[in-house]
Amino acid sequence: MTPRRIGIPRALYFYEFHPLWGTFFRSLGHEVVFSPETTRSILAAGVKGCVHDVCLPVKTAYGHVAHLRTEVDYLFLPRMMSMRKGTYVCPKIVAFPDLVLNLMEDLPEILDPEIDLRRGKTQEKALHAAGRRLGASRGALRSAYRAATAAQGALESSLIAGSLSGLQNPVGCETGETVRPARRARSSGSRSGRTVGILGRPYTLFDGRLSFRLLERLAAAGISVLTPQTVPTPVADHQVSHLPLDLYWTLVAETVGVARHWLRESRVDGIIFLISFECGPDSLIKVLLEDELKHFPGVPYSTFLLDEHFAEAGFMTRIEAFLDVLEGAAESRGAAR
Ligand code: SF4
């Protein structure tokens, strides 16, 4: 089998599955090329080349593919349909491989196996199909998938243990053009010990450019940060089992469940929700979340609507304002005791 360069864009489901995908192809003897962190030029290429009426994460993913396409022999762009029984991936992600195939020229070979858990099309079957196209034997596929699941399991265990480093600094990523270091949110000793829950999709939260390095900024200001990845799925599911709704879009039920868990267990002093402009599923989460937050009037909450026009200065101002409100709310709670 000839070793190939397999490109995987650092976008969308990359953040959740990069150990699985990267380890699988590496174990088959191929070179895996992850695109670098999102840079200004990657983002600009995505905004310019992609259709206008999609969200910022999809435009960003398009920019990552544009960056990789001339550097690799194959691009891995799985067709993600359903990642959990009973749920559906957002149509903009479902359509992403076709978007690329229709809009972009001079593409390398595309590996685009389907992942659709509603129909038994698992990650394992998808990766085996991609590996077969690369000429791997059945035995090699089996052992590569074993190594891949071990790597994926290690990431998931570290998240549940509270470490986000596997998502913030995915192993094997080239750094490319460095994103300007985060200007720190004003540090205040009194903020130490506060905890903020950050809701949002992994490809927004852990993309330093899209999130303006929010997690790092809060940590630098002495704030502890929680994200949905640190809450086990059954815990989040349990919190929404009462809702008389069929929340079938991926991550809608989980995100609302995580917020309820944090609020009901008093795990957070405040919540920030990063929403992408043009995101239908996030709009639904926002409504459900605001309904829940009515029961917790003392918990500051803010949403940040992200699009390509959102500027760092405005973002920083809003973070500072949020931290001031957080502090005020904590002092009021202290005075009321
Ligand atoms: S779920 Fe929302 S943010 Fe994610 S791809 Fe779909 S529209 Fe974009």
Tens digits of per-residue pLDDT, 243-279?
766 777 778 888 999 999 999 999 999 999 999 988 9
Q: Residue 73: inside a domain, yes or no? A: yes
Do 332 and 204 share a structural domain?
yes
Do 113 and 193 share a structural domain?
no
In this predicted structure, what is the pLDDT of residue 220? 87
Do 243 and 315 share a structural domain?
yes
Do 146 and 22 share a structural domain?
yes
Ligand 1 atom at minimum distance from 55 CA: 8
CA 95 – ligand 1 centroid, Å: 11
User: What's the CA gap between 228 and 257, in Å, rounded?
Assistant: 9
Last residue of a domain, one of 117, 134, 168: 168
| Whether pLDDT at 115 is above 90 | yes
* CA separation, residue 68 to residues 153, 206, 296 (Å): 27, 20, 46
Taking phi over 0 as left and psi of -120 to 50 as alpha, with beta for the rest, 272 belongs to beta
Q: Domain of 225: which CATH number?
A: 3.40.50.11900
Do 144 and 279 share a structural domain?
no
- Whether 92 is in the pocket of ligand 1, judged by its Cβ within 6 Å, is yes
The DSSP secondary-structure symbol of 10 reads S
In this predicted structure, what is the pLDDT of residue 174? 41
Do 246 and 112 share a structural domain?
no
CA 200 – ligand 1 centroid, Å: 10
- Whether 55 is in the pocket of ligand 1, judged by its Cβ within 6 Å, is yes
Q: Residue 184: inside a domain, yes or no? A: no
Token output for 231:
């809450």
Take atom 2 of ligand 1 and give the residue whose Cα is closest: 279
Residue 153: count of CB within 10 angstroms of its CB: 12
- Which residue among 93, 204, 250, 285 has the greatest number of ligand 1 atoms within 8 angstroms of its CB, and so is best to mutate? 93
User: What's the CA gap between 223 and 194, in Å, rounded?
Assistant: 5
Ligand 1 atom at minimum distance from 276 CA: 3
In this predicted structure, what is the pLDDT of residue 238? 87
- Whether 205 is in the pocket of ligand 1, judged by its Cβ within 6 Å, is no
pLDDT per position as a tens digit, 123-178: 999 999 999 999 999 999 999 999 999 999 988 888 777 777 766 666 544 443 33
Do 137 and 16 share a structural domain?
yes
User: What's the CA gap between 243 and 121, in Å, rounded?
Assistant: 29
Do 241 and 151 share a structural domain?
no
Token output for 26:
């590496």
Do 207 and 80 share a structural domain?
no
In this predicted structure, what is the pLDDT of residue 270? 95
Do 135 and 220 share a structural domain?
no
Q: Report the number of distinct structural domains present in the chain.
A: 2
Q: Which of 266, 202, 270, 210 is nearest to 230 (CA)?
A: 202
Question: Which has the minimum average pLDDT: 77-86, 240-249, 269-278, 297-306?
Answer: 240-249
Q: Residue 175: inside a domain, yes or no? A: no
In this predicted structure, what is the pLDDT of residue 190? 53
- Whether 60 is in the pocket of ligand 1, judged by its Cβ within 6 Å, is no
Q: Residue 178: inside a domain, yes or no? A: no
CA 201 – ligand 1 centroid, Å: 8
301-306 and 270-276 beta bridge pairing: parallel
Do 10 and 127 share a structural domain?
yes
Token output for 308:
């390509």
- pLDDT, mean over the chain: 87
- Which residue among 252, 279, 303, 310 has the greatest number of ligand 1 atoms within 8 angstroms of its CB, and so is best to mutate? 279
- Whether 207 is in the pocket of ligand 1, judged by its Cβ within 6 Å, is no
Q: Residue 173: inside a domain, yes or no? A: no
Q: Specify the pTM.
A: 0.89
Do 11 and 84 share a structural domain?
yes
- Whether 130 is in the pocket of ligand 1, judged by its Cβ within 6 Å, is no
Q: Residue 183: inside a domain, yes or no? A: no
- How many CA within 13 A on the CB side of residue 45? 16
Q: Residue 162: inside a domain, yes or no? A: yes
Ligand 1 atom at minimum distance from 249 CA: 1
Residues spanned by the domain of 229: 189-336
Ligand 1 atom at minimum distance from 204 CA: 3
